[in-house]
């Protein structure tokens, strides 16, 4: 559901050096992580979360596992330790939705992940999720157009006036999927750093810049000549 402060960009990584580099642009609004990304970093997840919090990132998805009781206990602990920057990430399962409902009642922000169907997004919204995360790329891998799910969820949320649950488009592989996710109604898109980098790198931009640089070299001597005082 698009609102005035949306079109947010999250990075999907636990590599703090890459995050630090891109966060300095002022264009990154949050971070999503998962057990696979944490494992790839080779670090204690809570060390990663603390470093990101110290960097000034205000929205960090922290995944919890187990049954609903374990997810609730761990979600409370992480929210208490990391404060308002903590978003507790739970799967869209029976246990995950129970945990979401309880954590949301305690005003803890929850991201319900692994969404592959509108029905799941409906249940997540009813459970009080702050975010639902449809996995666009994984649907595409299974010959289902992932972007259509974004639109279908947005249509339902608009008709039902669901404003508190935002659509976070995930499992993004291509730059075009970013722009199309926003066009189809996503509020937030999370992406690997490589996709974010391709958003501002374009071969035609590079070519145009090269032409401008070459032309500027022709202009500079004229400016220097104009600025040199004449001898009388």
Dump the DSSP string for 151-210: HHHHHHHHHTT--SSEEEEBS--SHHHHHHHHHTT-SEEEE-HHHHHHHH--HHHHHHHH
pLDDT at 228: 58
Q: Which residues are catalytic?
A: 89
For the segment 121-147, what is each residue's pLDDT rounded down to a tens digit?
Answer: 999 999 999 999 999 989 888 888 899
Tell me the Ramachandran region of residue 57: left when phi exceeds 0, alpha when psi lies from -120 to 50, beta otherwise. beta
Tell me the Ramachandran region of residue 59: left when phi exceeds 0, alpha when psi lies from -120 to 50, beta otherwise. beta
pLDDT in 10s for each residue of the chain, 232 residues? 443 466 999 999 999 999 999 999 999 999 999 888 998 888 999 999 999 999 999 999 999 999 999 999 999 999 999 999 999 999 999 999 999 999 999 999 999 999 999 999 999 999 999 999 999 989 888 888 899 999 999 999 999 999 999 999 999 999 999 999 999 999 999 999 999 999 988 778 878 877 887 777 777 777 777 665 655 5
pLDDT at 3: 38
Contacts of 230 (CB under 8 A, 6+ apart): none
H or E element that contains 115 = strand 110-115
pLDDT at 223: 73
Rounded to two decimals, the pTM is 0.87
Bridge partner residues of 189 (DSSP): 9, 169
pLDDT at 211: 83
Measure the CA–CA gap between 87 and 75, rounded to whole angstroms.
9
Measured CA to CA in angstroms, residue 83 lies from 7, 52, 232 at distances of 24, 13, 72
pLDDT at 4: 41
Which domains are delineated in the chain?
8-199 (3.20.20.70)
Say which residue the tokens 């559901």 belong to.
1
- Nearest-10 crossing angle of helices 16-23, 193-200: 30
pLDDT at 1: 40
């Amino acid at each position: 559901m698009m609102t005035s402060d949306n079109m947010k960009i999250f990075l999907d990584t636990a590599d703090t050096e890459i995050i630090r580099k891109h966060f300095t642009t002022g264009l990154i609004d949050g971070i999503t992580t998962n057990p696979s990304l944490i494992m790839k970093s080779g670090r204690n997840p809570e060390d990663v979360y603390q470093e990101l919090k110290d960097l000034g990132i205000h929205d960090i998805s922290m995944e919890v596992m187990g049954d609903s009781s374990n997810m609730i206990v761990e979600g409370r602990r992480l929210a208490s330790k990391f404060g308002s920057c903590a978003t507790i990430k739970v799967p869209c399962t029976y246990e995950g939705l129970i945990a979401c409902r309880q954590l949301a009642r305690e005003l803890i922000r929850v991201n319900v992940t692994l969404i592959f169907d509108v029905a799941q997004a409906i249940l997540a919204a009813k459970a009080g999720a702050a975010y639902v995360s449809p996995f666009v790329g994984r649907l595409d891998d299974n010959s289902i157009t992932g972007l259509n799910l974004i639109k279908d969820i947005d249509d339902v949320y608009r008709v039902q006036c669901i404003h508190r649950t935002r659509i976070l488009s995930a499992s993004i592989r291509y730059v075009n999927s970013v722009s199309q996710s926003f066009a189809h109604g996503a509020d937030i898109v999370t992406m690997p750093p490589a996709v974010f980098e391709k958003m501002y790198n374009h071969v035609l931009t590079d070519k145009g810049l090269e032409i401008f640089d070459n032309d500027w070299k022709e202009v500079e001597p004229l400016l220097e000549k104009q600025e040199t005082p004449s001898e009388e």
